[in-house]
């Protein structure tokens, strides 16, 4: 990429943003595609014929070659040795997480340890654990930063347990996000070694981390890493990966087999034999017309430099945070409450907040959703599929939630009413590869001009459909 500045790339490759007047602030939702990625896709499909990769014919072989090449590109991007790590293509990070959950050998002697700020696609692992009698331990996030304390994590990993009866069993699985999609908090990657030393496997959710950070699997060695590629470079959607240590993968037990995963099977004699590599986890026909675009996307990101993207997003995030915390009403009261770290240490470019009125009341996030949309701003409101971080942000302690399982609330609004909450969601602004200072300026101008000195009101807002 040489000396081309990211500002020039914004014009050359992401020109549609300014052409259509978008202020895109939802990179935690999805990254954006560069024009060159779309051109590469079209050029490839027009230049050759690609068939189903499950056979030996020429069109099939053409697909297989590109899929295998993309596998290699993923390994290189993560600095992972192919003898040590396997790349399994999945529909998304959720699909990758599920592959681990349904095949992990939980039992009544093992535990699942989760930080409270996991995305629902990781929190849901607890249902697999529960079904097999394993205990789930949730390690809370602590205000005001909504980080997880080192000591609390260590305690969760060292609680007494019965020794396993099978020698290759582990004590359990620690699953956490390298970066929270709610607060932007980056948890220490050093936890991986600590968990290993205590007999745990580690699932690292890298979905929110990878778009602006390098992950070096020669330096830290989680057993399972999950990711969605559209978060990193916008296109293609529908392709994610489970990158797994081969040794840990071999300890999983798949609950079924399907097309593409077996060496041989008999219907009459009722047996099957799974392949002994990553393909044992790739159910059915791969997304073979899109997987090659992952390599295109990785080449694109490499040509810019992940470190450069990281620095740029870090500078913009610091600017955003500094100016947000400085916003004041005419009476001197703050206009913004930030959930998570208000400084730029060990955090990514995702900032969750609520706006406050001059009397300190929360401005309903649905109002901000409607008014920011009308101003051409793409941001997110709600709890972002991250209920634990939301509970931390809104101080919903175990005591306040006591008995909530039995409330049978039919809607989010009913649930919030039971909790005595006036509003129940945050506003999330997230920055990424194509963000610039003008995006930050326009968001801050919108906040200042729309909410300064304005009393909070909830009348006439649509009911919340989901949390």
Ligand X SMILES: Cc1ncc(COP(=O)(O)O)c(C=O)c1O
Nearer to ligand X, 92 or 306 (CB): 92
| Strands (E) located in 108-253 | 111-115, 135-139, 172-177, 200-205, 224-228, 240-245
Q: Is 212 in the site for ligand X (CB under 6 A)?
A: no
H or E element that contains 85: strand 85-90
Q: Is 181 in the site for ligand X (CB under 6 A)?
A: yes
Q: Which of 129, 208, 225, 377 binds ligand X (CB under 6 A)?
A: 208
Distances (CA, A) of 393 to 188, 205, 419: 20, 21, 14
Q: Which of 94, 261, 352, 435 binds ligand X (CB under 6 A)?
A: 94
CB of 348 to ligand X, least distance (A): 10
The catalytic residue among 241, 383, 385, 467 is: 385
User: Hey, is 298 helix, strand or coil?
Assistant: helix
CB of 360 to ligand X, least distance (A): 30
Nearer to ligand X, 74 or 456 (CB): 74
Q: Is 93 in the site for ligand X (CB under 6 A)?
A: yes
Q: Using CB under 6 A, which of the segments 91-99, 287-295, 388-396, 438-446 binds ligand X? A: 91-99
Q: Which of 10, 119, 245, 366 binds ligand X (CB under 6 A)?
A: 119
Q: Using CB under 6 A, which of the segments 57-65, 88-96, 131-139, 263-271 binds ligand X? A: 88-96
β pairing state of 377-378 and 23-24: parallel
Told to judge if 385 belongs to the known catalytic residues of this protein, a careful annotator would answer: yes
Q: Which of 207, 225, 336, 369 binds ligand X (CB under 6 A)?
A: 207
In total, the chain counts a number of residues equal to: 467
- The CA distance from 89 to 92, in Å, is 8
Which residues have C-beta within 8 Å of that of residue 294, sequence separation ≥ 6? 70, 73, 74, 229, 236, 239
| Strands (E) located in 356-448 | 377-378, 380-382, 426-430
Give the count of residues interacting with ligand X (CB under 6 A).
12
Q: Which of 37, 63, 115, 121 binds ligand X (CB under 6 A)?
A: 121
Nearer to ligand X, 140 or 382 (CB): 382
Question: Which pair of tokens denotes residue 173?
Answer: 């699985």
User: Hey, is 339 helix, strand or coil?
Assistant: strand
Q: Is 213 in the site for ligand X (CB under 6 A)?
A: no
Residues 317-346 that bind ligand X (CB under 6 A): none
β pairing state of 172-177 and 224-228: unpaired
Start-to-end CA distance of the chain, whole Å, equals: 41
Nearer to ligand X, 207 or 351 (CB): 207
CB 323 within 8 A of CB 21: no
Question: Which pair of tokens denotes residue 383?
Answer: 């709890």
CB of 75 to ligand X, least distance (A): 21
Active site residues: 385
Q: What does the binding site for ligand X look like in residue numbers (CB under 6 A)?
A: 28, 92-94, 119, 121, 177, 181, 205, 207-208, 228
């Amino acid at each position: 990429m040489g000396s081309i500045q990211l500002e020039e790339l914004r014009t050359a490759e992401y020109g549609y943003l300014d052409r259509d007047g978008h202020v895109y602030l939802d990179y935690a939702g999805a990254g954006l595609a560069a024009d060159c990625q779309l051109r590469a896709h079209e050029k490839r499909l027009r230049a050759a014929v690609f068939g189903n990769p499950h056979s030996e014919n020429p069109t099939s072989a053409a697909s297989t070659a590109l899929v295998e090449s993309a596998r290699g590109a993923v390994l290189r991007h993560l600095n992972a040795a192919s003898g040590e790590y396997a790349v399994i293509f999945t529909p998304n990070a959720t699909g990758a997480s599920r592959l681990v959950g349904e095949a992990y050998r939980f039992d009544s002697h093992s535990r699942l340890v989760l930080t409270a700020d996991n995305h629902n696609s990781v929190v849901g692992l607890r249902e697999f654990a529960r079904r097999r009698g394993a205990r789930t331990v949730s390690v809370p996030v602590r205000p005001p930063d909504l980080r997880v304390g080192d000591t609390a994590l260590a305690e969760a990993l060292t609680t007494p347990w019965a020794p396993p009866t099978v020698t290759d069993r582990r004590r359990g699985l620690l699953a956490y996000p390298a970066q929270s999609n709610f607060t932007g908090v980056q948890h220490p990657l050093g936890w991986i070694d600590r968990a290993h030393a205590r007999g745990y496997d580690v699932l690292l959710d890298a979905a929110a981390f990878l778009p602006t950070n390098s992950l070096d699997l020669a330096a830290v060695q989680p057993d399972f890493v999950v990711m969605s590629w559209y978060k990193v470079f916008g296109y293609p959607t529908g392709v994610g990966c489970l990158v797994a240590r081969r040794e840990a993968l071999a300890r999983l037990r798949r609950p079924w087999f399907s097309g593409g995963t077996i060496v041989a099977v008999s219907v009459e004699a009722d047996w099957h034999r799974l392949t002994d590599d990553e393909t044992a986890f790739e159910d059915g026909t791969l997304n073979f017309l899109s997987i090659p675009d992952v390599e295109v996307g990785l080449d694109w990101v490499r040509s810019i430099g992940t470190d450069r993207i990281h620095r740029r997003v870090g500078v913009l995030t610091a600017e955003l945070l500094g100016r947000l915390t400085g916003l004041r009403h005419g009476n001197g009261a703050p206009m913004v409450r930030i959930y998570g770290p208000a400084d730029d240490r060990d955090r990514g470019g995702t900032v969750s907040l609520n706006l406050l009125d001059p009397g300190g009341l929360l401005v309903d996030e649905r109002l901000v959703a409607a008014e920011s949309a009308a101003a051409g701003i793409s941001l997110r409101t709600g709890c972002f599929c991250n209920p634990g971080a939301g509970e931390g942000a809104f101080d919903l302690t175990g005591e306040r939630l006591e008995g909530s399982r039995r409330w049978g609330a039919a809607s989010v609004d009913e649930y919030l009413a039971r909790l005595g909450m006036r509003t129940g969601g945050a506003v999330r602004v997230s920055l990424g590869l194509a963000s610039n200072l003008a995006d930050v300026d326009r968001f801050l101008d919108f906040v200042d001009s729309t909410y300064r000195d304005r009393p909070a009101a909830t009348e006439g807002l649509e009911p919340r459909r989901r949390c």
